[in-house]
Structure 1
């Protein structure tokens, strides 16, 4: 999931360089959403591991 966020971030940067503002904004928003979803899943996994006692 973090890989997809990075891919959309790169797409947003390339689109911004070439002047495609709408595509850049949409890709940046998707990258941001994917990053936060990844972050939430990571925290949930850490908590689950701590609760299990490993």
Structure 2
């Protein structure tokens, strides 16, 4: 799950860079939503891994 969260976080960052740069203005709001969503998923995955007692690799 952590791998998926990181993958989609990177996709959201790329979409954000393209959207905020003026290449695709309509994707800026979508990128913001994706960035926040996958940042939350990333934090949840990190907390779940810590609760299970597995240190970060």
TM (norm. structure 2) is: 0.67
Instruction: Considering fraction of residues, name the structure with more helix.
Output: 1
Counterpart pick for 1:20 among 18, 24, 37: 24
Once the two structures are superposed, what CA deviation does each residue of 1:4-50 show, in whole Å capped at 9, x if it has no partner? 11121111111221253331111121121011111112101101117
In the other structure, the counterpart of 2:42 is 38
For structure 1, the residue ranges without an aligned partner over 5 or more in a row are: none
**Rg (Cα) greater in structure:** 1
Range that drifts further, 10-19 or 29-38? 10-19
Count, aligned residues: 50
Name the Cα RMSD after superposition.
1.8
